Structure 1
Amino acid sequence: MKYLISVLVGAMSYGILSTIVVLAYGKGYQLGEVVGTQLLTGCILAWLLAVYTKVKENRKQKSRGIPAAATQRVSTALTWKHRLLLMLAGAPTMLTGLLYYQSLRYIPASLAIILLFQFTWISVLIQAVSKRQRPDKITLLTLLLLFGGTLLAAGILDQGAAHFNMLGLTLGLLSAVSYSMFIIFSGKAVPAAHPAYRSAWMITGGFVLLCILFPPTFIFNGLLWGQLLLYGFLLGLFGAFIPPVLFAIGVPHIGGGMAGILGAAELPVAVLLSSFVLHEHVSWLQWTGVIIVLIGVVLPELYKLRWKNTRVITS
């Protein structure tokens, strides 16, 4: 149960981000400052965890009577090639944050999170094209549910597409594409490395790229030591630190299928906070669309679990 809860809490943490970003925008902070403080605090927290993990590994190895030199080699198994690959794999994380947070300037947070959730069918499409495989029936049904649910949840059917800012819609969809690329790249980048080291180097890569695009002047002009630090800390904690750590703890024990189902908790949390904290109007028709989107997310995973159980029983 504790592993299920850890993954669930990690997914819910992601749902908090959009509300914090909108509140930060309300205080006059800019995109580069918001994302920059998030990655800066997330990077610091990730490296603190990596150092703690390294010290813990060293103590464990020493307790077994392994020489100090051998302990050091075990703790620093990543080569610079591996580190560079992880930093490159972390770049889509930064890009997703930029696109997603910028979309919040033009469209409601409840709509932005729904657009981000389109990564589910975009990932399927990318995989189908790359592997040259036609999606099966359950996948096609899932895509149909996701598309129909999105139309309802976005409010397009009851308000019309012209009601929304097209730039915001485009940025939201591009954030879904970027997040899909992150999922693909992160799963292939040095999978044998310890999760603490992987997350630290990936966040570092995203922060370095962000500093190139948006020079971190907020660090030196004193802006960081105002309310920006609070918003950045919360974003780094709930976006760049807690979810990766909790997923690393829980996913190996509950499996990717169940993790995918629990990961859908991000959507209702974001919509609920948008409604109650930001006072955005969410109609019952939109809530119906959210439920349909959630069904579309969990349907293929439930189908896989049932298929596996059927195979076990028949064998």
Structure 2
Amino acid sequence: MKYLLSVLVGAMSYGVLSTIVVLAYGEGYQLGEVVGSQLLTGFILSWLLAGYTKLRAKRTPNQPGTVTAAGVINSPKLTWKNRLLLMMAGAPTVVTGLLYYQSLRYIPASLAIILLFQFTWISVLIQAVSRRQRPNKVVLLTLIVLLGGTLLAAGIMEQGTAGFNITGIILGLLSAVSYSLFILFSGKAVPSVHPAYRSAWMVTGGLVLLFILFPPHFLFNGMLWGPLLLFGFLLGLFGAFIPPVLFAVGVPHIGEDMAGILGAAELPVAVMLSSFVLHEHVSQLQWFGVALILLGVILPELYKLKRLNPDRLGTR
């Protein structure tokens, strides 16, 4: 149960981000300042965790390739080639954050998270094209459910398309494409390395890219020592630190399929906070659409679990 809760809390942490970003925009902060303070916090916390992990490994040494008490692999030392690969794999997270956070300037947070969740079918499409395989019936049914849920959750069935900002829609969909690429690349980037070190180097790569795109003037003009410090800390804590750590702890014990199901918790949390904190209107029909999207995310994972363990999903 503690590993299930670990992954669940990690997914719910992601759902907090959009509300914090909108509040930061309300204080007058710009995109580069918001994302920069978030990644800077994530960078500091990630390297603190990596340092603690290294210190703990020295106190309780294990042979390379063995499994530690935390359930993670004690990997050999990183080469600079591996470090660069991890830094490159972290770049799509920055692009995703920039596109997603910028979309919040044009569209409600409840709609932005729904657009980001389109990574579910975009990932399927990318994999189908790369493998040159036609999606099976379960995947096609899932895509239909996701599309129907998106139309309802976005409010298109009630409001039509006239009230939507096309710039925000495009940015939201591009963030979904970027996130799909991150999932594709991150899983293949030096998987044998300890999660704490992988996370630290990936965040480092993202921070370097961001500071190239948006020079960190907020570090020197005194802006950081205000509300931005709080916003950056919360974004870094809930976006760049807590989820990777909790996923690293929980996923090895519950499996990727169950983690995929629990990961969908991000969507209702984001929509709920948008409604209660930001006072965005979310109708009952839109909530039904959110439920359909969750069903679309969970459906293929349940099918996989049933095929692998037919007795686990049977009647008691």
TM score, norm. by length of structure 2: 0.94
> Aligned to 1:193, what secondary structure does the other structure show?
coil
Q: Does 1:12 align with 2:32?
A: no
1:15-68 deviations in whole A, cap 9, x for unaligned? 000000000000000000000000000000000000000001111129xxxxxx
Q: How far did residue 224 of structure 1 move?
A: 0.4
Q: How far did residue 262 of structure 1 move?
A: 0.3
Question: Could you say which residue in structure 2 is the equivalent of 1:55?
Answer: 55
Q: In 1, distance between residues paired with 2:246 and 2:207?
A: 21
Number of residue pairs matched by the alignment: 303
One-letter amino acid of the counterpart of residue 131, structure 1: R
Q: Does 1:264 align with 2:264?
A: yes
1:141-192 deviations in whole A, cap 9, x for unaligned? 0000000100000001111112110000000000000000000000000000
> Aligned to 2:279, what secondary structure does the other structure show?
coil
Q: How far did residue 76 of structure 1 move?
A: 6.7
Q: How far did residue 310 of structure 1 move?
A: 2.9
Q: Does 1:250 align with 2:258?
A: no
Q: In 1, distance between residues paired with 2:184 and 2:57?
A: 29
Question: Could you say which residue in structure 2 is the equivalent of 1:219?
Answer: 219
1:192-220 deviations in whole A, cap 9, x for unaligned? 00000000000000000000000000000
Which structure dedicates a bigger proportion of its chain to helix? 1
Question: Could you say which residue in structure 2 is the equivalent of 1:137?
Answer: 137
Question: Could you say which residue in structure 1 is the equivalent of 2:185?
Answer: 185
* Between 52-61 and 24-33, the greater mean CA deviation after superposition: 52-61
One-letter amino acid of the counterpart of residue 195, structure 1: P
Q: Matched residues, percent identical?
A: 78
Question: Could you say which residue in structure 1 is the equivalent of 2:112?
Answer: 112
Q: Which runs of 5+ in 2 are unaligned?
A: 63-73
Question: Could you say which residue in structure 2 is the equivalent of 1:163?
Answer: 163
C-alpha contact (below 8 Å) 2:75/2:192 kept by paired residues: no
Q: How far did residue 308 of structure 1 move?
A: 1.3
C-alpha contact (below 8 Å) 1:99/1:171 kept by paired residues: yes
Q: In 2, distance between residues paired with 1:188 and 1:41?
A: 26
Q: In 2, distance between residues paired with 1:312 and 1:235?
A: 38
C-alpha contact (below 8 Å) 1:58/1:75 kept by paired residues: no
Q: In 2, distance between residues paired with 1:75 and 1:261?
A: 28
Question: Could you say which residue in structure 1 is the equivalent of 2:103?
Answer: 103
For residues 40-79 of structure 1, the aligned pairs below 5 Å read 40-61=40-61, 77-79=77-79
> Aligned to 1:264, what secondary structure does the other structure show?
helix
Q: How far did residue 312 of structure 1 move?
A: 9.4
Q: In 2, distance between residues paired with 1:3 and 1:214?
A: 38
Q: 1:312 to 1:249 in 2, by over 3 A?
A: closer
RMSD: 1.6
Q: In 2, distance between residues paired with 1:52 and 1:306?
A: 39
Question: Could you say which residue in structure 2 is the equivalent of 1:36?
Answer: 36
Q: 1:133 to 1:276 in 2, by over 3 A?
A: same
C-alpha contact (below 8 Å) 1:34/1:231 kept by paired residues: yes
Q: Which runs of 5+ in 1 are unaligned?
A: 63-73
1:287-315 deviations in whole A, cap 9, x for unaligned? 010000000000000011111123899xx
C-alpha contact (below 8 Å) 2:107/2:165 kept by paired residues: yes
